[in-house]
Chain A
Amino acid sequence: MRSGVALKRSVLRKSGKLIPLYPTFFLVVFFLVPFTVMLAVSFFHRVEGAFFEPAFEFDNYLRFFDPFYLGILQFSILLSMAAAVLATAIAFPFTYMITRMSRKAQVVALVLLLAVLSLSEVIIGFSWSTLLSRTSGISNLFVSLGLLEKPTSYYPSLSAVLIGLVYLSVPYAVLVLYPPLSRLDPELPEAARMMGASPMRTFFTIVIPLLRRPIMSTLILVFVFTLGAYTLPQTLGKPSSWTLSVHITDQAIFQANLPFAAAMAIFLLVVTLAMIAVTSMLDKTKSEGDTK
């Protein structure tokens, strides 16, 4: 009896703590469990010509330490970094100008952006391959303007992949940057103007430094986001521009080599997390230096 009462009480006391259980539940079911399964599979033994069997071996990771795959990893990281820098560089001034427009114009601009968000990677890849094609692409426009002799094709190429990735991620970058930029007190840039700073100078000495953190978040978001892209590199790129995600997909879907795919995915995840950690640590030291 007594223990029953005590139990009831502790349940009552705990009911207030139920709220954090909800996110915990979701994290466990939709992140921790799949991740654990993937981690386990990455150590399994690949049976050539069939599937895999439970085991604990490092073969899948060792296979990754091949100049070929390491080269792809390095390429993927550099490509995503470039996409992150370009997308942020495009999105930031764009968003800044949007937040300086009238409320109505802002809504229109954001709705248009959301419309772009609804485009899948597949459709974006398809559209850009048409736009960059010789037969119906922009080079025809250049020819009619007299800039080019005859139409040419700009895909598949590394620049086409980069364009596709940047196009894919700019709307996300804008959505991340919009809230902090619209919260930016308009009097801050105005003050700089009054003190003699040209609009450009104001932008670089005031607006950008004030929004260093949102800019960092945007860079990281686009970096991670584009690392996972696997359709655009294969639609718009030559095989040399295929990223690690493309190879992971190949292994998982076409080669049925889940252990190797899992090992590559885990490795990519670890490298990504490490890079984010280093970045935010550098950022932290910098801002601590600021307050001193």
Chain B
Amino acid sequence: MEFDSVRAIDNIDLVLPQGQFVCLLGPSGCGKTTLLRMIAGLNTPTSGEIIFDGEPLTDVPSHERNFGMVFQSLALFPHLTIAENIGYPLRIRGFSKRKIAARVDELLELVHMPGVGNRQISQLSGGQRQRIAIARALAIDPKLFLLDEPLSALDAKLREAMQIELKELQRKLGVTTIVVTHDQREAMTMADHVVIMKDGQIFQQGPPLEVYKKPNTAFVADFIGSTNLMPCRILSSDTVETYGTEVKVAHLAASLKPNDQAALSVRPEDLSLIPKEDAPESMRAKITFSVDLGTHTELQLDHGGQDIMVTIPPQRQQVFAQGEIWGLQIADNACAAVSL
């Protein structure tokens, strides 16, 4: 795909599992929307193939793909009523009026909005429009259900509720679903399978928890959840050395060999604070910020010029004051060594 003479997507090799909920995740401009639009047939790849159910899709125009798609703007037709919007793909396929009406009612029921068929789009709230757009995309029982940043226009609370609703809907229908999002929380909530993209390339894919636990690159580790990246050297297949201490890791990126320089991804919850005397000089840090959120305490420390984040579980009745110096302890068998 050429995009203003810059390749938006480059050498992507992606096999998506049938019946699953897939999230294309990445920062804006990473090419995830372009990839989705290629799958939809709205953009044409300059080279390469898209194969669906064993059939090449590349030469099939989008209107013959029988996919359902929810657009970022939702793209509801303002000149049609809700029922006419949902019934549009059925009308195009020449269904009878009665059949269309029955299916529209069924779909409205499915998205928990029965009986609003005669209303205008302009009379709906943001969340309601969302549901209508979903219902419309599902009207033909699509072979593939595509959503482009579908929840980005909603406020945080509604977004979370819709994430769950969407996930439940997908489970119920069993339709293979691809969602584009830049929100890693959203991806973690909904996806069976996440695909992490950056600069037109796929960095890593897999079940969300696996990607979270076993990132292969610093980018993925940092993008999925928050992490502290510490410089390290690989000692063996399960041990690294960082700041003069040896740490046993839970995951070592496949590309790494002993003596490689790499990064150790230490999640804030995998760090604990110990009295400074118990830690070597190189592992001491000064607290620069502390906030007790009730469920846990979040600390920010200055570790030789690098900011380090630490999450302390609530059961520790310890008070951490700004300015204090503590030792950092990395949990064994919890962290991942990732390539830079």
Classify A-B as touching or not with yes or no (CB < 8 A).
yes
CB atoms of B67 and A194 under 8 A apart:
yes
Partner of B140 from the list A195, A202, A205 (CB cut-off 8 Å) is A195
Contact with A along B67-108 (1 / 0, CB 8 A): 111011101011100000000110011000000000000000
Q: In the bound complex, how far is the Cα of B122 from the Cα of A281, in angstroms? A: 23
CB atoms of B73 and A201 under 8 A apart:
no
A188 close to chain B: CB less than 8 A: yes
A291 close to chain B: CB less than 8 A: yes
- B residues near A202, Cβ cutoff 8 Å: 63
Q: Count A-B pairs with CB separation below 8 Å.
A: 68
- B residues near A187, Cβ cutoff 8 Å: 71-73, 75
A48 close to chain B: CB less than 8 A: no
- A residues near B69, Cβ cutoff 8 Å: 191, 194
Contact with B along A183-214 (1 / 0, CB 8 A): 00101101111111111011001100110100
Partner of A192 from the list B88, B139, B140 (CB cut-off 8 Å) is B88
A195-B89, A198-B63 are contacts. A190–B71 as well, Cβ < 8 Å?
A: yes
Interface residues of A in 147-196 (CB under 8 A from B): 185, 187-188, 190-196
- Interface size counted on chain A using CB atoms at 8 A: 22
A198-B63, A201-B92 are contacts. A193–B79 as well, Cβ < 8 Å?
A: no
- B residues near A195, Cβ cutoff 8 Å: 63, 68, 88-89, 92, 136-137, 139-140
CB atoms of B71 and A196 under 8 A apart:
no
Partner of A193 from the list B62, B68, B78, B136 (CB cut-off 8 Å) is B62
Residue of A nearest to B79 (CB): A209
CB atoms of B73 and A194 under 8 A apart:
no
Q: How far is the CB of B124 from chain A (nearest CB, A)?
A: 14
Query: Mostly helix, strand, loop or mixed at chain B's interface?
Result: loop
A288 close to chain B: CB less than 8 A: no
CB atoms of A194 and B68 under 8 A apart:
yes
Contact with A along B119-146 (1 / 0, CB 8 A): 0100000000000000011011000001
A66 close to chain B: CB less than 8 A: no
CB atoms of A193 and B93 under 8 A apart:
no
Q: How far is the CB of A180 from chain B (nearest CB, A)?
A: 13
Q: In the bound complex, how far is the Cα of B41 from the Cα of A210, in angstroms? A: 23
Q: In the bound complex, how far is the Cα of B65 from the Cα of A236, in angstroms? A: 51
Q: In the bound complex, how far is the Cα of B89 from the Cα of A197, in angstroms? A: 8
Q: In the bound complex, how far is the Cα of B72 from the Cα of A201, in angstroms? A: 23
CB atoms of A210 and B89 under 8 A apart:
no
CB atoms of B73 and A185 under 8 A apart:
yes
Further contacts, 5 of them, CB under 8 A, given A191-B71, A194-B62, A195-B92: A192-B88, A193-B61, A195-B89, A205-B92, A290-B79
> Which A residues are within 8 Å of any B CB, using their own CB?
185, 187-188, 190-199, 201-202, 205-206, 209-210, 212, 290-291
Give me 15 A-to-B residue pairs in the complex whose CB atoms sit less than 8 angstroms apart, sorted by A's number. Answer: A187-B73, A188-B77, A190-B42, A193-B61, A193-B62, A194-B40, A194-B42, A194-B69, A194-B146, A195-B89, A196-B63, A196-B89, A209-B79, A210-B78, A290-B79
